[in-house]
């Protein structure tokens, strides 16, 4: 359109290009708007044209900025890509990963991964997010689509966490474990909160939970995607009781434990600890004369002595009067 026609809007004639343009539906495909825009007259059409020019210019600037920031999609050899500086996963679900592999095999890789140049090894890269896609392409073979960006350590872990949050891709315990690993690497709580999208109180609960659980138990159980904060906290409470931690760690060493699915592994540990917690050990103390005088009930938290008054009505009173002497004798043995 000639420059003079942009402003000569008085007394238009039918063959004026601006008028002809006004009669046609307008589109903004570069802005993602594919519905027709319907100006009401020549002035509206010219105003819309100016808006369209500005929108196209802005969109072009955005594209140039993304390219300058390294957001162009390239193809890389998967063998040149290393894992992130902080691993956020406790393994892959076999069925879900198999489904992803078939999807990529059939339709190709639809979403690129994000990597940064390796800070210590020229020619190599570190993945920020897209670990499952990377594993799938490695299994299939071929090049992987990736966006390369220069990221600081903080930017990498924030990108890694936010991508997983947006895809609801990590289980609760994975997010907790990721937070703990980040803190162990020296990242500030502010960076960790930005990465996981949680507030200070929630982050404190997540890190405190992991501190109460043996790391080898968490890693043996894995993602446990069906179980959230409440069930993990219940397990931690039970493990705090005497002897339960050792029992759980022994169970994960049993043959066949790791062959189960992650949810099944969590449930097996939970049920084992809960059953042993709820089932007390019961014994009866019998005197030399054969009298069954005391029923002893023992749990992890307490031991109860029940005296049968039908046999020796005064025995319980006698023991009660001797408790201090018995305790003093016990303490003397402890100090030897």
20-24, 60-64, 189-193, 235-239: segment of lowest average pLDDT: 20-24
End-of-domain residue from the set 236, 262, 279: 279
Query: Could you tell me how many helices (H) and strands (E) the chain has, helices first?
Result: 14, 10
Residue, of 290 and 31, whose pLDDT is higher: 290
146-155, 198-207, 270-279: segment of lowest average pLDDT: 270-279
- Mark whether 285 and 299 lie in a shared domain: yes
How deeply is 51 buried, as exposed, middle or buried, from its count of CB atoms within 10 A (0-12, 13-18, 19+)? middle
Range of the domain at 60: 3-68
- Mark whether 76 and 48 lie in a shared domain: no
What pLDDT does 42 receive?
52
Whichever domain contains 128, its CATH number is: 3.90.1530.10
* pTM of the shown model: 0.57
Task: Determine what percent of the chain falls in helix, strand and coil, rounding each to the nearest 5.
Answer: 55, 15, 35
- Mark whether 13 and 128 lie in a shared domain: no
In whole numbers, what is the pLDDT of the chain averaged over residues?
80
Query: How does residue 23 score in pLDDT terms, banded at 50, 70 and 90?
Result: very low
- Mark whether 286 and 203 lie in a shared domain: no
48-57, 77-86, 114-123, 304-313: segment of lowest average pLDDT: 48-57
What pLDDT does 306 receive?
94
What pLDDT does 322 receive?
92
End-of-domain residue from the set 207, 225, 247: 207
- Mark whether 90 and 157 lie in a shared domain: yes
What pLDDT does 170 receive?
80
Residue 296 makes CB contacts below 8 A (sequence gap 6+) with: 282, 283, 284, 285, 303, 304, 305, 306
Which of the residue ranges 91-100, 106-115, 159-168, 276-285 has the most confident prediction, judged by mean pLDDT? 106-115
Q: What are phi and psi of 53, to 5 degrees?
A: -65, -45
The answer, yes or no, to whether residue 336 has pLDDT greater than 80, is no
- Mark whether 11 and 74 lie in a shared domain: no
- Mark whether 136 and 191 lie in a shared domain: yes
- Mark whether 52 and 110 lie in a shared domain: no
- Mark whether 144 and 176 lie in a shared domain: yes
The answer, yes or no, to whether residue 190 has pLDDT greater than 80, is yes
- Mark whether 52 and 168 lie in a shared domain: no
Question: What percent of the chain is predicted at pLDDT more than 90?
Answer: 49
- Mark whether 295 and 248 lie in a shared domain: no
**Could you give the number of structural domains in the chain?**
4
End-of-domain residue from the set 155, 176, 207: 207
Structural element, H or E, at residue 70 = none
- Mark whether 76 and 135 lie in a shared domain: yes
The average pLDDT across 149-170 equals 81
């Amino acid at each position: 359109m000639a420059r003079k026609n942009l402003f000569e809007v008085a007394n238009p004639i039918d063959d004026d290009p601006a008028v002809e343009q006004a009669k046609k539906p307008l589109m903004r495909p570069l802005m993602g708007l594919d519905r027709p825009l319907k100006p009401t007259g020549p002035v509206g059409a010219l105003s819309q044209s100016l808006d369209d020019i500005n929108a196209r210019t802005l969109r072009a600037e955005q594209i140039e900025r993304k390219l300058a920031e390294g957001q162009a999609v390239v193809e890389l050899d998967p063998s040149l890509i290393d894992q992130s500086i902080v691993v956020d996963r406790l393994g892959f679900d076999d069925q879900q990963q198999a489904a992803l592999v078939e999807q990529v095999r059939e339709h190709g890789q639809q979403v690129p991964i994000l990597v940064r140049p390796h800070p210590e090894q020229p020619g190599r890269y570190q993945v920020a997010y897209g670990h499952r896609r990377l594993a799938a392409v490695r299994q299939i073979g071929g090049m992987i689509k990736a966006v390369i960006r220069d990221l600081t350590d903080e930017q990498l872990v924030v990108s890694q966490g936010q991508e997983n949050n947006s895809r609801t891709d990590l289980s609760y315990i994975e997010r907790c474990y990721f937070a703990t690993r980040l803190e162990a690497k020296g990242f500030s709580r502010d960076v960790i909160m930005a990465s996981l999208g949680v507030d200070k109180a929630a982050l404190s609960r997540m890190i405190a939970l992991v501190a109460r659980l043996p790391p080898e138990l968490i890693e043996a159980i894995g993602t446990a995607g069906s179980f959230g904060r409440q069930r993990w906290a219940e397990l931690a409470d039970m493990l705090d009781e005497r002897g339960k931690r050792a029992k759980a760690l022994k169970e994960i060493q049993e043959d066949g434990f790791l062959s189960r699915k992650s949810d099944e592994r969590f449930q097996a540990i939970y049920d084992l600890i809960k059953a042993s917690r709820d089932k007390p050990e019961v014994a009866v103390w019998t005197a030399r004369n054969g009298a069954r005088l005391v029923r002893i009930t023992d749990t992890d938290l307490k031991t109860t002595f029940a005296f049968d008054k039908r046999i020796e009505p005064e025995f319980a009173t006698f023991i009660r009067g001797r408790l201090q002497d018995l305790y003093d004798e016990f303490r003397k043995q402890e100090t030897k």
